[in-house]
A and B are shown apart, each in its own frame.
Chain A
């Protein structure tokens, strides 16, 4: 009795409930003088839910309780020496019995005891599913019958149905919020563990970053250094270079699109920009690593400049290109939101188009543009793939954009790649970096949203 089969049967039952409930309600409305309190649809939902919900609850309950019972039953039937075995061994054995019962390949040797256990397991499982199914179906039918018989023109079914619907929506909303909160807290707690090993002051202001911790205590360089300033500086530099590329080009293209371009051109170009924004960043990453970085290095060499083959400038400029559509699209929205009446007012006073743009349209759109830029910055800071591929891994505190730098995101990746002990300072450092990243981008987003909100109030 598989889950799929159960789902199909249950859905069929609920659909039937819906159709019959609705039809009954319409029939009631026709045959009686009193008007229906709730629309027929609600009656349909009422019956469907009355049979579907209890059935689901029973099914879930039967399986949960059933699994417990099966496990204890199997353990009770095991030979003495297995029953006395340690927890992990017993669990391994049970898991393998289950695998075998499902026709899989167990990891331990197939012993007669295992075969017996797996057969038992299979039988009990089938029994459990049948009982669960029968219970669910029975209760579903009872719910169906009761609800169906209760239907009348005066029955107020709308309220309970709508309340239930609201509850479902609420559940969805809280699920997403709770997940976020859960992630934040786990990052926070791991960071606190990290800070109990490495002082927060050293982390935030230390100039030395070499997280390699020796495997053996007698190895050289056994103490890692967790000063994150080189990472912050690297992130800052790459972001700055990216914005240096993205802000002017993005803004100018937005002004062209919003103010000069033919509407037909704009209608075509805007979706194209949005597609560009959807190119996976790993594609930009290898573009940066394989095309831009070597080109920059060769160009540098030809004028006698030493450009590292992984450099801040290569990563930053490609990241800038990646962000252009983002900036351009948001700025274009901000410009398009400026009412035409303002443009007419300015033109009507004898201003040229260019004066109108620089003195009226851009100032009016400025908050929206600033918000767009802030969002772009927060994206640049959080961007990982391009810098992993093109910026470098060595923590290098430098102000020279031609050298390799590393960023917070790159270090998080390198700290977590490969086999790690989960509670070493090295792994925990990734959480601390993640926390910093989270706080910065959250801050930027909050500021950007507030700016947009303020601006909206002002325009309306």
Chain B
């Protein structure tokens, strides 16, 4: 009995000695430029290791999906890409993350600028309790992207348009954003992120709080955004990963088990664990 529990405990710990995580030289050919790169990324929450040396290339202007069972470190890894977990108490990080070849964890890097380049959309829609207009204008205002009201109006309109929300809200930009439906709120959050013209958009389960129709709209939106932005999306919905992404990465217990073209991962998984997961045998 005791032995079994110990074994499971060891298995759950990402630092487990037999960890299979994909070495950098076995990463797939992307056939295009790499936007972000992680090499040997390890992360501890106090003493608990959550990432066990991740190697991953994020292709530019494509959608990369992260899948894997709950607690496997998808959110943790995603947050490393724009250093959102810097502020968490007791976090220790080893390894490299680069954006266009430059280390994002370098001392000279200003997190504020990094996050303007690598934006984030959260799991639960989190609009500010301000007007719709002010929500979208928030980022441009703090970064000084608009010199006058006309410019700002332009940014707000184009962001809402690109988020597919303009027609629904153009007559009520002054209303409170918190009064919109959940799906609208999430698209507003996407518009708010687009408004600061990031290069990469990180999305952590952006549709998990939405109904199927809103989900479909957000998926359409992601598909359109791919032309201009590099997108990384965490999702528990495998069909969604198959629909919107070009590259899929499968995480398990803090390790990257498999990463490949989405079609390849879903039709012809290279690892038995991946196969078990996508066929619903565990996770």
List A residues at the B interface (Cβ < 8 Å). Answer: 263, 339, 341-342, 344-352, 355, 359-360, 363-364, 458-459
B139 within 8 A of A: yes
> In the complex where A263-B89, A344-B84, A458-B178 touch, is A349 in contact with B139 (Cβ < 8 A)?
yes
Residues of A within 8 A of B87 (CB): 347
Q: 9 closest pairs, A vs B, by CB?
A: A350-B116, A341-B126, A348-B120, A350-B115, A349-B139, A345-B126, A351-B142, A350-B112, A355-B142
In the complex the two chains form, is A351's CB within 8 Å of B112's CB? yes
* Beyond known contacts A345-B126, A349-B192: 18 more, CB 8 A cutoff: A263-B89, A339-B126, A341-B122, A344-B122, A345-B127, A345-B189, A345-B192, A348-B82, A348-B84, A348-B119, A348-B193, A349-B115, A350-B114, A350-B116, A352-B142, A355-B142, A363-B130, A364-B128
B45 within 8 A of A: no
21 residue pairs A–B, Cβ–Cβ below 8 Å: A341-B124, A342-B126, A344-B120, A344-B126, A345-B127, A346-B128, A348-B84, A348-B115, A348-B120, A348-B122, A349-B116, A349-B196, A350-B115, A350-B116, A351-B142, A355-B142, A364-B128, A364-B129, A458-B176, A458-B178, A459-B129
CA of A352 to CA of B110, assembled, Å: 10
In the complex the two chains form, is B122's CB within 8 Å of A350's CB? no
Q: How far is the CB of B178 from chain A (nearest CB, A)?
A: 7
CA of A363 to CA of B87, assembled, Å: 22
B138 within 8 A of A: yes
Q: How far is the CB of A345 from chain B (nearest CB, A)?
A: 5
In the complex the two chains form, is A359's CB within 8 Å of B138's CB? yes
Residues of A within 8 A of B170 (CB): none
Residues of A within 8 A of B115 (CB): 347-350
CA of A446 to CA of B189, assembled, Å: 36
The one of A344, A350, A363 in contact with B129, judged by C-beta atoms closer than 8 angstroms, is A363
Most-contacted residue by chain B among A263, A347, A360 (CB, 10 A): A347
CA of A69 to CA of B136, assembled, Å: 84
In the complex the two chains form, is A349's CB within 8 Å of B138's CB? yes
- Count of interface residues, chain B, beta-carbon cutoff 8 Å: 28
Most-contacted residue by chain B among A345, A348, A352, A355 (CB, 10 A): A348
B143 within 8 A of A: yes
Residues of B within 8 A of A342 (CB): 126, 128-129
Q: How far is the CB of B116 from chain A (nearest CB, A)?
A: 3
The one of A263, A344, A345, A349 in contact with B142, judged by C-beta atoms closer than 8 angstroms, is A349
CA of A339 to CA of B115, assembled, Å: 20
CA of A401 to CA of B166, assembled, Å: 57
Q: How far is the CB of A356 from chain B (nearest CB, A)?
A: 9
CA of A414 to CA of B249, assembled, Å: 80
B237 within 8 A of A: no
CA of A127 to CA of B122, assembled, Å: 81
> In the complex where A263-B89, A351-B112, A363-B130 touch, is A345 in contact with B122 (Cβ < 8 A)?
yes
Q: Which residue of A lies closest to B121 (CB)?
A: A348
Q: Which residue of B lies closest to A366 (CB)?
A: B129
B113 within 8 A of A: yes
CA of A363 to CA of B129, assembled, Å: 8
Residues of A within 8 A of B130 (CB): 363
CA of A342 to CA of B138, assembled, Å: 12
Most-contacted residue by chain A among B89, B119, B129 (CB, 10 A): B129
CA of A348 to CA of B196, assembled, Å: 11
Q: Which residue of B lies closest to A345 (CB)?
A: B126
The one of B119, B124, B176 in contact with A349, judged by C-beta atoms closer than 8 angstroms, is B119
Residues of A within 8 A of B116 (CB): 349-350
Residues of B within 8 A of A363 (CB): 129-130
Q: How far is the CB of B205 from chain A (nearest CB, A)?
A: 13
The one of B89, B113, B138, B176 in contact with A346, judged by C-beta atoms closer than 8 angstroms, is B138
Q: Which residue of B lies closest to A356 (CB)?
A: B142
Residues of B within 8 A of A344 (CB): 84, 120, 122, 126
Residues of A within 8 A of B126 (CB): 339, 341-342, 344-345
Residues of B within 8 A of A263 (CB): 89
Residues of A within 8 A of B139 (CB): 349-351
CA of A459 to CA of B196, assembled, Å: 26
CA of A192 to CA of B127, assembled, Å: 54
> In the complex where A349-B138, A350-B112 touch, is A360 in contact with B128 (Cβ < 8 A)?
yes
Q: How far is the CB of B137 from chain A (nearest CB, A)?
A: 11
Q: Which residue of A lies closest to B179 (CB)?
A: A458
Residues of B within 8 A of A355 (CB): 142
Q: Which residue of A lies closest to B195 (CB)?
A: A349
CA of A459 to CA of B126, assembled, Å: 11
CA of A417 to CA of B105, assembled, Å: 71
Q: Which residue of B lies closest to A348 (CB)?
A: B120
Residues of B within 8 A of A352 (CB): 112, 142
CA of A351 to CA of B142, assembled, Å: 7
Interface flags for B98-115 (1: CB within 8 Å of A; 0: not) read 000000000000001111
CA of A359 to CA of B129, assembled, Å: 11
In the complex the two chains form, is B142's CB within 8 Å of A359's CB? yes
Residues of A within 8 A of B114 (CB): 350
CA of A438 to CA of B154, assembled, Å: 54
CA of A342 to CA of B126, assembled, Å: 6
CA of A363 to CA of B82, assembled, Å: 26
Residues of B within 8 A of A339 (CB): 126
Q: Which residue of B lies closest to A352 (CB)?
A: B112
CA of A344 to CA of B82, assembled, Å: 12
Residues of A within 8 A of B112 (CB): 350-352
CA of A355 to CA of B142, assembled, Å: 8
CA of A339 to CA of B178, assembled, Å: 13
Residues of B within 8 A of A458 (CB): 129, 176, 178
Residues of B within 8 A of A359 (CB): 138, 142
Residues of B within 8 A of A364 (CB): 128-129
Residues of A within 8 A of B196 (CB): 349-350
Residues of A within 8 A of B119 (CB): 348-350
CA of A107 to CA of B190, assembled, Å: 88
Interface flags for B128-168 (1: CB within 8 Å of A; 0: not) read 11100000001100110000000000000000000000000
Interface flags for B70-104 (1: CB within 8 Å of A; 0: not) read 00000000000010100101000000000000000
CA of A363 to CA of B128, assembled, Å: 10
Q: Which residue of A lies closest to B130 (CB)?
A: A363
CA of A347 to CA of B192, assembled, Å: 13
Q: How far is the CB of B232 from chain A (nearest CB, A)?
A: 14
